[in-house]
Each structure stands twice: as C-alpha cells, then as structure tokens.
Structure 1
Amino acid sequence: MNKNGILASESFSRGRRHYFLDFKLAGNNSNYVQFTRSEQQGNGSYKRWSFVIFENQFEDFISAFASLFRSAAYQGKGFVTVKQLHEEFKGEGCIKAMPPELRPREKMATSGRSEMENSELLAMLIGSGSPNESALKLAERILNGAGGSLKNLSVMSVAELCQFKGMGIAKSSTVMAAMELALRLSAATPVRYKTVYLYKKPGRPSGFFDLGN
C-alpha cells in the first residue's frame, strides 16, 4: 500500500485520456473504489474527474452493472429499462402470473390436497422461486433430478438439494424436514384401542355398572 492508501490499481489510456481504477483504504479502515479520468488540455495541463464507490455500495453497484449488461443484450428490442426487464422476468417466472386455479395454494384450497401433484406440494414447501423461475418449475426440476421418485427425494441431503440452482440451506432444510416427518409417519406403529363395554349386573342397585370386555 502506498502513502495514498492505494491497495491495488489499474490504468489505461486512449489518446489524451487516461483512466485510473484504484482500490483504496479509507481512514476508518473501510475500502472504497475510486474511478479517475485525466484528460490533457490544449495548453498541456490535465483536467481530472473522479467518483468514488464506498464499500457499503459495492453490492448495489455490481448489481446495477449486471442489470445494465442484461439490458444491453436486449438492444434488438429497442430501448428497454432495467425495471421493464425485471417485470418481464417476474411475469414469466412468478406463480402469481399463473391463472388462480393453477396456483398450488389456491388449488389445494378448492380441490383438496389429494388432487395436488407432487411438484405442486413440493413447490409449497419451497415457497418461492427466483425472477427467472417459479417455485413450481424449481420443484419440477428437483423431482426430475430425483428420477421422479419421492423415495429418492426423501434421502437427499442438504448439500445435494443445494446443488439445484435456487435452493439454499433454508429451503433445502424445509424440504428435508417434511420428508423426515413423512418417513416417521410411515414407520409409526398404529395405536390399537381396547373396546370397553359398560353393563349392569342383575341385582345391583341402579347407577352401579361393571367394566367388562
């Protein structure tokens, strides 16, 4: 690190314009990125422009760049804003965009759980998908990965479930918990209740009863 607090630096030039990208250490020990453009003037002097991105803004800045590049890929469609792209992906991949009668929760409420497909039940456990994929599509992909077998799904580990894009530890743990409850239910021994009859013996006063089988 030099005396200016620069931890790393890159630069390039185009004619009279020079660009510098510096990763720096601030006085409070936080990091920031400084972009600088330096341009030579007609009299030989240089004019400089700079802007800074602080550490707590890194994630937003990177996300903005990713959205911008995605928007650039749609140049053939004319001008498209990042917000329009988000709404488009959301409309394609969101369960809310489906007809009400096809949404898993609404279908269960109107038709009952016995009418639900395995993928629909699994989607309800997963809860939410991503901007590019609904929870239902994710559930179908996971079931396909399990060979369409609930038995195979029931023995998957968190690590195996997390290998499916869109599945994190929280969603995977929820699915595993449901599978474990199903396994315990299937292995439980049914409780048998003994039938007890009440009868009145001859000669006993009214109100007295014996318990018998």
Structure 2
Amino acid sequence: MRILLVEDEQDMAAWLGRALSQGGFLPDLAPDARTAESLMASNEYDAVVLDLRLPDKHGLTMLREMRGRDDRTPVLVLTAQGGLQDRVRGLHMGADDFLTKPFALEELEARITALVRRSRGRQYPRLQCGSLSYDSENRVFMLDGSLLFLTPREHATLAALLARSGYPVDKAQLFGKVFTHDSDANLDAIEVVLHRLRKKLAGSDVHVVTVRGLGYMLESLARTPAEA
C-alpha cells in the first residue's frame, strides 16, 4: 500500500517512514501541505496520514480542500491533543479516522489497513498464483505453504506483479510502485530487485518472466506428476 505521510516533525517523520517501510507499506514523506499537494497531484495513494500542525497550512484546511476537489483518498488524522473539537471539525471536513499522539505503531498500521479496506468496500482478497498466495490484509506472502521473507521493495514488487499475474507490468509503472518519489535510484534499479526476487522464487512453480517491449510478468508453470 502506498501511503502519503504529512508530518513536519523531522524525527517523527523519519521514524514513521522507516517503521512503515519495514511493515510492508510504501510511504512518501511530505513536511508541509505544499509538498503534500504536489505529491497528490502526480501520484495515487491508498491513504494519507495527516498531521494537523503543519508550517504552511492547518491540516484541516488541507483536508477540506482535498474533499472540495472530490479527492476521496482515505485520511487518518494525527493530533497531539485529541480534543473533541478537532475531531468533530475533522469529521465534518471529511476525515476518516483519528489517532492521538503518542500512539503504538501497531495501532497506526492496523488503522491504515482498515481505512483502505473500507474504502474499497470489501475485504481484501487473498491473491493466488500457483503455490504463491498473498494475504493483503495481513501483508504476508506464502510459497508452498511457507512464509516468504521479503524486503520492503521485494514485497512491493511481488505484490504489484501478483495483482496482475498473467499480464505484463510496464517497467516504469513497476518502478513507481516500488521506489518512493525521493529515491535517487534510476529506472534500472528495478532489475536488481527482480533479480533478488527470482532467486527467492527459484525452485517453485512461480516465475517472473521478462516480456520484451512490455515489461515483467508473474506466471505459474504447472508441475508434471514426476516433478511433484
């Protein structure tokens, strides 16, 4: 899941960014409303985590403007006070949930996941390709019945390929889902991630193939009885 984290406290933002990445999310960081609005204009996010005390604009003003342009991205508001007045105003302006600082990381991750699930109007599906399955609610991959351990970038790559298994995913599109906007990596960096991913899938019935001119595709090769 790609998340926009709007937080001006540098230490808090850095900690949250690292923690969410380790949890399988893809966070983009914005220290102010102007940066956040620029990122939202050029990217699609599954959810926004929004601090209220921003240096250039109050978070609720930014939220009101989002809803005014019919941006329905789920928004979880972070507030240091957790006061009733802020919560009521936020709900009227279109906030989907609130979390009071300080908070437990596990609760933040659970609330983000629940927001995205509700916004899609259904439970997350369990995606499958051959012996590979992905429980996107709990963000875990299973291969041949065993947990598949992946880095955040490998996780994001495999999730993107599995969502379109059997169909090629364009290289630039895949790069955009794996690397954050402020990454200094070039487009070919996705090939390094794919190389590591192929090694972890080696020996299974699931393979990442290169489709010339179209990108990369996840496919399952049926095993013969002898191979099974």
TM-score of the pair, normalised by structure 2 = 0.25
Normalised TM-score (structure 1)? 0.26
Q: Which of 1 and 2 has higher RCO (CA within 8 Å, sep 6+)?
A: 2
Bigger proportion of residues as helix: 1
